[in-house]
Amino acid sequence: MTRFFYLIIFILPLLVFAQKDVHQIDLAKAQITQFDEVYFKVDFSSPEAIYSLPKFISIDKVDKKNNTYYAYIPGSRFEDLLTLDLPFETIDKTKGVKALTMATTTAEMANWDRYPTYSVYQEMMQDFADNYPNICRLESIGTSQNGRDISVLKITDNPDVDENEPEFFYTGTMHGDEIAGFVLLLRLADYLLSNYGTDNQVDNLVNNVEIWINPDANPDGTYYGGNSNVSGSRRYLANGVDPNRNFPDPFEDHPDGNAWAQETIDMMNFADTHNIVISANTHGGAEVVNYPWDAWRSVANVWPYIDPPLEVNRLHPDDDWWQLVSWEYANSANYFSGVYNDITESYEAVVFGADWYPAAGTRQDYMTYHKNGREFTLELSDSKLLDSNSLPTYWNYNDEAFLLYMEQVLYGIHGIITDSVTGDPIEAKVEITNHDDAISFVNSSLPVGDYHRPIYEGTYDVTYSKTGYDSQTHTITLSNYETVIKDVALHPTGVGITENKLLNQIQITPNPVTNNSISLSINKPVAYMSLQISDEMGKVLYQNDYVNIPSGKMQIGNVQLASGVYILQISNDAAKLSKKLIVL
């Protein structure tokens, strides 16, 4: 389906508009000279005006109380803006900004009340890896168009080992002039690293999560005015592309009409090589949590982007989970800031993306729709260029919320999926029956075979499937903030009992048993087996399930059996084996 935007073109000639708004045009041209972009606002009489804007206009936020939207255009499209004859007002991003003090050494970042120069930023990232070699690695997502590194930290207890751990990703400042998140994520990395071993909350996260932190996803935008300052920062990438409109969305691969920028390609490659379970990207200019979708509204409306226009709406199947975690973040930030203690309208703190304003090609929709992940957008400060001396205050607002959102990756349903015959981990689909849609399921990932499924509390039928294997469905009940472990061994389709040699290689040693302690000799690893002991009348006296049993001697333990003859039954999804057990 092809998406297009209707252009609202008024009959009034350009000359009339220019005569009435020469001052605004001059201000816009001054912005183009400095930033090669224009930031402006437009008053609207009907919300439908927002849905009819052309692709080159990137809406930044919508003030519904005052019927105003704020937006950007790249400098190259200014004449196109004028042809629309919109009564725009150019916005000075720096107005009211008191200081954007720069740190020229890493020591000057000690109080976290400055912005780092590009060289200091790079040095800080390297220092994290050098100073905490046991739990931190510095890696690169890619290189920007102007040659700056898009750095990312990996923080976890065993950074060189693939473990049964969910992956969490914080990425910041993809709009280069929304700089608060840049420093706050740098400080988050420092907080995790410096508090590991002394803080239980931090230990729990670092020991059980593979954490990725990319403080600045658009260094060319942040340092557009040069590597020594952020006062000249701008929204766009070096080529004038909005990075948060350049991803594939549910409708198109190139919804903004542009080729994928190098930064977009690198970020998609990063997502392809990782199994990101939960993520967030940071922005500025408002203070809200924005959750999926940006491409659909939560209620039906006429959507002019579709040809022909359709009345469409779509909730994510996990909308209740999204509301839980979004409000958890907002309530924590609100508690420590005191700003929204009297919230009366939900969009002030938590918004469903397109209900606030529509956006095509966003990172949040890409990660959620195309990568089966869970990502929301954090608007951290009303000011895009937050005063440097306010950075510690905003850290205090958000630090606990950062950690709470990360902890959500540990809740829900988790486990390892293996081949029941070989015991090897496999990639398989984990789907909630009568709940998931075509994109909300998750997959286990190699080399561990682990899966991680955040979900709202309830009772669910969970189906595990893979081509070439018999599917299994298990009923699982859980509460919010609870972790349920469910390991599953899938049986290859068509492998019969006579072909399954593993169980036949399990021996009872010794037999007869003289001390009520039963040992099994296992010649090859077994992914899963159920062991049951019953008397000669069939009464079950002992039963237990075991997973991922290595080869060697396996001690069953004291089962308190009287002298006599018993039946020891071993079974898994592939076969059932009965052996006589004699107790002296």
Q: How confident is the model over 514-555, as pLDDT tens digits? A: 766 788 888 777 777 788 888 877 788 888 887 778 888 888
Question: How high is the pLDDT of residue 502?
Answer: 54
Distance in angstroms (rounded) separating the CA atoms of residues 497 and 575: 5
Asked whether 493 and 469 are in contact (CB, 8 A), the reply is yes
Q: Tokens in use for 442?
A: 């998750």
Nearest to 222 by CA among 123, 148, 139: 148
Distance in angstroms (rounded) separating the CA atoms of residues 338 and 335: 5
Question: How high is the pLDDT of residue 307?
Answer: 52
Give the number of other Cβ atoms within 10 Å of residue 43's Cβ: 14
Asked whether 274 and 446 are in contact (CB, 8 A), the reply is no
- The SS3 of residue 373 is coil
The reported pTM is 0.82
165-196 burial code (b ≥16 CB/10 A, e <16): bbbbbbbbbbbbbbbbbbbbbbbbbbbbbeeb
- The SS3 of residue 270 is helix
* In the chain, where the domains are located: 14-90, 102-305+319-410, 414-490, 499-583
- Fold designation for 102-305+319-410: Aminopeptidase (3.40.630)
Residue ranges for the chain with pLDDT beneath 50: 1-20, 306, 310, 340-347, 496-500
**Is there a common fold for 414-490 and 499-583?**
yes
Asked whether 247 and 140 are in contact (CB, 8 A), the reply is no
Parallel, antiparallel, or unpaired: how do β-strands 488-490 and 412-419 relate? parallel
- Fold designation for 499-583: Immunoglobulin-like (2.60.40)
- Provide the residue type at 157 as one letter: D
- Provide the residue type at 298 as one letter: S
CATH for 414-490 is 2.60.40.1120
Helix 180-195 crosses helix 200-208 at what angle (to 10 degrees)? 100
Distances 479 to 352, 454, 482 between C-alpha atoms, Å: 24, 11, 5
Asked whether 512 and 583 are in contact (CB, 8 A), the reply is yes
- CB-based contacts of 227: which residues, under 8 Å, 6+ apart? 117, 118, 119
Asked whether 112 and 187 are in contact (CB, 8 A), the reply is yes
**Which of the following CATH numbers is that of domain 14-90: 3.30.200, 1.10.10, 1.20.1740, 3.30.70?**
3.30.70
Distance in angstroms (rounded) separating the CA atoms of residues 163 and 159: 9
Asked whether 476 and 470 are in contact (CB, 8 A), the reply is no
Question: How high is the pLDDT of residue 506?
Answer: 76
